[in-house]
Structure 1
């Protein structure tokens, strides 16, 4: 979310051809078309999940970061037979750890968007979840953040209230592929709470914390993240 498939490049290089890596640009991101849903179209998270699932022709290794990790988890719950291994880097499924500070942040972002201040909404979001603060970005990237921040709000129902029913009874428990949950040591506390809640229900799960890393660890710590992905590939 608010990035592109291109930031997987350093990790792909460090995996040295072990797997064929397909990294998609979400709608409204990178080289994908803008997100312009019609009245009969699904919500944003569902649309992204369907796009990602369309690439699956046989059991494979699903690797996701942030919202992408929630998409990977949603696919694994719906079709566990399609997953050979599952690597979830900082899944932002806030519904797994209710009562966090994220609810207040989302409320503030929604208010700014409703009042026509996407720059303020983007500034709040990037202060917590970004690699660089909004005001440090060049103007073209600030515009990109303003254009994309409504897509963050569009995922609220799934991420905060589990509108996709990912956490349904017996759902996580059917995933028999090896799962690895990767967190940054310096990420917001809710990330560690989410990882703990998911790990408690997954049958074959490991957890790893990358020292000195925050939420954008695929960009800031690609060596460590690639090494951990390789560990989970070995387990599969």
Structure 2
């Protein structure tokens, strides 16, 4: 069912256990085009893929859900967790995309995408993992809550904040070190989609229970950690050179990928120069690299 439209995409409601999942669809503009399903990160929403959608420019259909507990899907009941999200993504594929699809996931969405391919192999033709899906044990003595706060930083802190108006929320994100000079209309739309409530007490749509449960599983769930090592389909990992706060050390580098024992003959890993954890899908360089991979996958179908 179509809920509403906006320039470039429609918003749909897909039934899943616990409610209706909000799903954005950028339609293909060429005959018989395949479908790409895109899965966002832990505190993000479907409009995180806006820059990628611009660069795909209708050459494939792009479908992106708001995961349960976020944005348009914030009222979908729990339980939460990565396996639940994977089954939701499978429901989206079954409802909107005939045949197996290319699946792309960013950050937590990469773990969800890998799990979707493991749990529903008949629905997934190829997986593109973007700055996520590789897990590492917590250092001795480090508590999971401390690790989650260290990794998510301001993204987690904002869930407890209120904002007097939309401009205040815009300025909060514009001051984020990972966005810097790369602020765009697409980034603005993505961050504004996150807001709920009324002025002067606007807040993030993210459900705290969902974020904490999903974050714990990114850090500790054994099935999620193993998924990238047992994918039943072709896959690739793209990783950002810089981190969540634009710091020089990103989530991954060549040494960490080696430590994680990733089999690069099965899942080749490639850095995207000049990107951080956000700009690898939200900036011009990163979004172009991701779109090229997705369009390249179409060419090899």
What's the TM-score, normalizing by structure 1? 0.71
By relative contact order (CA 8 Å, sep 6+), the higher-ranking structure is: 1
1:109/1:121 contact within 8 Å kept: no
Deviation at 1:10, TM superposition (A): 2.1
**SS across alignment from 2:73:** coil
Alignment CA distance shift 1:29-1:157 (3 Å): closer
Alignment CA distance shift 1:153-1:18 (3 Å): same
Deviation at 1:31, TM superposition (A): 1.6
Alignment CA distance shift 1:56-1:197 (3 Å): farther
Tell me which residue corresponds to 1:179: 235
Tell me which residue corresponds to 1:166: 224
Which structure 1 residue ranges, 5 or more long, are not aligned?
111-116
Residue by residue, what CA displacement relative to the aligned partner does 1:22-76 show, whole Å, maximum 9, x if unpaired? 1001123222233543xxxx33323222211112333110011111111100011
Tell me which residue corresponds to 2:107: 66
State the alpha-carbon separation in 2 of the partners of residues 128 and 78 from structure 1: 36
Of 114, 118, 123, the match for 1:77: 118
- Select the structure of larger CA radius of gyration: 2
State the alpha-carbon separation in 1 of the partners of residues 177 and 100 from structure 2: 31
1:85/1:177 contact within 8 Å kept: yes
Of 175, 188, 211, the match for 2:273: 211
Task: Give 1 or 2: higher helix fraction.
Answer: 1
Deviation at 1:131, TM superposition (A): 4.4
Deviation at 1:180, TM superposition (A): 1.3
Tell me which residue corresponds to 1:97: 136
Task: Give 1 or 2: higher strand fraction.
Answer: 2
Residue by residue, what CA displacement relative to the aligned partner does 1:143-193 show, whole Å, maximum 9, x if unpaired? 534854553321133211125x1344xx65553432110111113444336
Matched, 1:24 2:65: yes
2:241/2:250 contact within 8 Å kept: no
Say how many residue pairs are matched: 213
Matched, 1:53 2:94: no
Deviation at 1:227, TM superposition (A): 1.9
Q: CA RMSD in A?
A: 3.8
Deviation at 1:211, TM superposition (A): 1.2
Alignment CA distance shift 1:197-1:81 (3 Å): farther
Which structure 2 residue ranges, 5 or more long, are not aligned?
1-41, 150-155, 162-172, 181-190, 244-248
Tell me which residue corresponds to 2:252: 191
Of 205, 224, 236, the match for 2:289: 224
Alignment CA distance shift 1:118-1:184 (3 Å): closer
State the alpha-carbon separation in 2 of the partners of residues 195 and 153 from structure 1: 25
